[in-house]
Every structure is written in C-alpha cells, then in structure tokens.
A and B are shown apart, each in its own frame.
Chain A
Amino acid sequence: MNENRRQILEMLAAGKITADEAERLIAALEDQPKPGNGSAGQEIQPKGKPKYLRVLVEADESMTGNKGLTTVNVRVPMQLLRAGVRLASLIPAQAHQQLDDALNRHGVPLTLSQIKPENLEELIDHLEDLTVDVDGKDGNATKVRVFCE
C-alpha cells in the first residue's frame, strides 16, 4: 500500500481526522501524477518530437456524392514539410509580387519576401502542437482529424 495512503488511514483510525477528511485526502493523492519506474521525484520526461503529420478524413455520401463512406488517411513526415516549405525560397524574386497580389486577392494578406527560413522552422515547430477535430452533426458522419504523432 502507498505510504501516504497508510498514514491517512492511520490518522483516521487514531481519530485525528474524520472519514470525510480522509476521503478528500485520498482523492487528492489520486489526483497527483504517479511517479514513473525511476526514482521518486524524477522529472517527467518530455514527450518526443512528433515525426509525422496525420490527416484523417471520413466523409459520408451527403458530403462526397459517392456511395458509402469515403476515407482518406495521409501520413506525411515532418521532415517533408520542412523540406517543402524551404522550396518557397526558390521562388524567383520577380514572382514574389505576383504571388503576393494573388494571395491578397484571395483574402490571404501575406508577403512572401518577408518570410525567412527561421520563420518557417518556427511554423513547423508550432505545427507539432496542432490538433484539429471536426465532427459533422445532424446525422452527417463526416469527420476530419489533423494531428501530429
């Protein structure tokens, strides 16, 4: 039995605390994160960096017009995303203005020339925390999940 739990029960048996107080203390103990197999007080290891971006889509007939369920399951390595965004640096300077204008016309106020490689790295790093869950409602079985793993 856990040492803290034993102490609480002993205090309850000795009449130092009431049954309600003992229950609250035990509940508080259970809420605490359990230590791992290592030594007590060891810091929790940080979660490993995600390696893949996953996109899962399940769309029903009402969404696609196709019979039955349509599923899409895509796994893209994060390295591929990093390499892909670096391709933006290959866009010729004379094409930047045209691209900026086209993006603005479609409601994306972005200036490509201001995007630096370090910004792209930051973008990918933050993408690792991204989770998007979309569920259809009212009988629509469409589901979209975007997450990193």
Chain B
Amino acid sequence: MTPNIAIVHVAIPHWGTIKAWLPLFLLWIPAILLSPLIFLVILAVCLAGRISPWRTIASFWALSCALPGTDVRVSTEGNKVLVRIL
C-alpha cells in the first residue's frame, strides 16, 4: 500500500512547534494528471541510461509501497524532529 499520511513534528526552542499531517494520498491527483508526462520523462531517462523502464517503475513502486511504517525521531539541544509515514 502506498503511503497515505506523513506526520511531521518540528519543535525548536524559543521559536515554536510545527505539527503537520500531510495527506500524501492527495498527491495521486497531480500524479494521475501528469502521468503521461512522467511516463515520457522516465522513458527518456531509462533509454539514455540503457535500463528497463518497466524495472525502473517497478522498483520505485516497491520503494513507495514500502515507505509506510517509517519513523524517524531526532532530538538535539532541545530541537526535536519527528517524521512518521503511515
């Protein structure tokens, strides 16, 4: 399943906190609208690099589908960053 939502929390002392839920599923709309263009770009790049465009699409699709569950938290000097992909 492709990622649906990304949760981003950024906390910086004396500045503030950002808590954002990014609806990644909305990216499907521009992706579908621009799909002919995206396909042509992928095809051109793959032909230039002499690699299979189907394999390229399959690899990036697998990468995209594997993203949910990723969780990165970093904190230092009171600064905190959290990125979760659901």
Contact = CB atoms under 8 A, between A and B. Distances in A.
B1 to A, nearest CB: 11
A71 B73 contact: yes
B77 A66 contact: yes
A73 B75 CA distance: 9
B24 interface: no
A51 B76 CA distance: 28
B63 A70 contact: no
Task: For chain B, give the interface size range.
Answer: 20 to 34
B6 interface: no
Contact of A90 (B55, B74, B75, B78): B55
B17 interface: no
Contacts of A77: 66-70
Contacts of A70: 74-77
A87 interface: yes
Contacts of B51: 90, 92
Contacts, number: 69
* SS class, residues of chain A in contact with chain B: mixed
Interface of B: 49-51, 55-56, 59, 62-63, 65-78
Given A71-B74, A73-B73, A90-B59, 11 more contacts: A52-B69, A67-B77, A70-B77, A73-B72, A73-B74, A74-B71, A75-B69, A82-B62, A83-B63, A90-B51, A94-B50
28 contacts: A51-B69, A64-B76, A66-B76, A67-B77, A69-B76, A70-B76, A71-B73, A71-B74, A71-B75, A71-B76, A72-B73, A72-B74, A73-B71, A74-B71, A75-B71, A75-B72, A77-B66, A77-B67, A79-B62, A79-B66, A83-B63, A89-B55, A89-B59, A90-B49, A90-B51, A90-B59, A92-B49, A92-B51
Interface of A: 51-52, 64, 66-77, 79-80, 82-84, 86-87, 89-90, 92-94
